Structure 1
Amino acid sequence: MAVRRDAELAGAVETAVRGHAGGVSVAVLDETAGTRASYASGPGTYDTASIVKVDVLAASLLRAQDEGRAPTARERAYAAAMIQNSDNDATTVLWKELGGAAGLDAANERLGLTATSGGADGLWGLTQTTADDQLALLEQVFGVSEGPVLAEAARAYVQGLMGNVRGDQVWGVSAAGDGAELKNGWLPRGTTGLWVVNSIGRVRVEGRRYLLAVVSHGSATKDAGIALVEGVARAAVPVVSGGA
């Protein structure tokens, strides 16, 4: 049975989240040992912003897999723009071809995401999720889950794109390690003026690999949200590595 260190994680992130009036949640897994932990400052789900793009890509690849084919050159071009540059127009194309929220939800049922629901009215950035669900998605993408749904070639493709995001978008979970495959999301909410800032991916620390998801809302600025996410990420990894 996998070891859980939820209580230790709550204590470890206490300093990083102190003074943050919004919500924050984190989930982390040591790939080798299987030790995991999760923490949420309160109940409920979080807006995905652009981290949903990894989910959209996984669902799109699963669709192609079901049809017994590789992704087309056109689909690959949109996927690269979506993950590496966080291109919104490319995301909208793949989202619509997937069947929108209903298509994403159907794929997520197979991928093991139990608390994620696609954004209504075509607003994919307002898809609702949890850090635990994002960790489950990463387990599929990096082949850590038992019997991953995505084929090996599909997993390698997503990993390659996440490992080559644009330089100015390399922040977030990457602060916890020496290198990372990642995808970040950021969104100012029009109703409040406060920021959603999220980061998911795989990081390496002293030769070991960790899957890590941090989601948050309620930051006054994007930079404040990034600082929050990075502080939580740096605090989280040592908990499951035994360094805490």
Structure 2
Amino acid sequence: MADEARVSVAVLDLGSGETVTHGGGVFVTASVVKVDILAALLLGAQDAGRELTARERSYATAMIGRSDNDAASALWAGIGRAAGLDAANARFGLTETAGGDGTLWGLTRTTAADRLALLRQVFGTDSALGADARRYVRGLMERVVPEQAWGVPSAAEGATAWAVKNGWLPRDATGLWVVNSIGYVTVGGRACLVSALSDGNATMERGVALVEGAVRHALVSLDGKRADAEARAVRGRPRPV
């Protein structure tokens, strides 16, 4: 089958606010929606003034740490499926994400820009989530099983810190793969949020390569924008006389 892959990537430098985007369009989330599910669960618990139960914490650890689908399905039901997800995401400022039908949380649709908006709720400070909730999500994303630490952390060469959630899904209708990666990296002292979404990949391996290549290219472009901004600032300074 011919490879019909497409990819969309967005990167945000948390310090400078500089962004780089390549590609666009709406994509199926696959398992990256698990971050939304956990964020929605935590927001609901926060509203109710309660902590997560031991069972919810067990499900959350499995869902993020090893991408357990049964745990995700249990929490998806707990938040009220798509209606609960969409209501939480509206409060998080997401405008281009729609929950999957019925039990099909993996068919939630989103954009790279909306993935950055969600990551800002987790890794930023201007968030509907409290500090403890944000720290909890970050901690789980920092401890995914080694075999799932591809994508964002692998593409960011020399990263000194990272957090990630990946998603991969073969589509029944086409046999082609959805491969996505979202997360946080610190490279060269710069903290960045990264979202890369792809579909139409002939194999999962080709999707991983496509996503990682897109992330590398975006990070290089971000370095270029930063260098240009610094050069403009230097040119704008008064010269000594």
Q: How high is the TM-score relative to the length of structure 1?
A: 0.88
Please name the residue that 2:237 is paired with. Answer: none
**RMSD of the TM alignment (CA)?**
1.5
- Checking the alignment, whether the CA contact within 8 Å between 2:30 and 2:180 is kept in structure 1 is yes
Cα separation, 1, equivalents of 2:49 and 2:23: 39
- Per-residue CA deviations over 1:90-115 (Å, capped at 9, x if unaligned) read 00000001000000000000011100
Larger radius of gyration: 2
**Secondary structure at 2:128's aligned position in 1?**
coil
Residue 75 (1) aligns with residue 73 (2): no
Q: Deviations along 1:169-193, whole A, 9 cap, x unmatched? A: 0000112141310000000001000
Cα distance in 1 for partners of 2:3, 2:200 equals 8
Query: What are the within-5 Å matches in structure 2 for residues 84-123 of structure 1?
Result: 84-123=65-104
Match of 1:5 in 2: none
Q: How many residues of Structure 1 are paired with residues of Structure 2 in the alignment?
A: 222
What residue is the counterpart of 2:21 in the other structure? 38
Higher mean displacement: 19-28 or 225-234 = 19-28
Corresponding position of 2:235: none
Equivalences for 1:35-184 in 2 at 5 Å? 35-41=18-24, 44-144=25-125, 147-174=126-153, 175-177=155-157, 178=159, 179-184=161-166
Shift of 1:20: 6.2
Residue aligned with 2:95, SS: coil
Q: Name the amino acid aligned to 1:84.
A: G
Does 2:193 match 1:211? yes
Runs of 4+ in structure 1 off by over 3 angstroms are none
Counterpart-to-counterpart distance in 2, 1:100 and 1:239:
38
- Any unmatched runs of 5+ in structure 2? 229-241
Change (3 A) 1:78 1:127: same
Distance 1:112 1:38 in 2: 19
3-state SS, counterpart of residue 200 of structure 1: strand
Deviation (angstroms), 1:206: 1.1
Q: Determine the structure 2 residue equivalent to 1:190.
A: 172
Q: Distance in 2 between matches of 1:20 and 1:182?
A: 26
Mapped contact 2:22–2:218 kept (Cα < 8 A): no
Structure 1 segments unaligned to the other structure (5+ residues): 1-18
1:232 counterpart (214, 218, 237): 214
Partner of 2:102: helix, strand, or coil?
A: helix
Return the TM-score normalized by structure 2.
Answer: 0.89
1:199 counterpart (166, 181, 193): 181
- Distance in 1 (CA, whole Å) between partners of 2:3 and 2:164 is 24
1:7 corresponding residue in structure 2: none
Query: Are the aligned partners of 2:112 and 2:197 in contact in 1 as well (CA < 8 Å)?
Result: yes
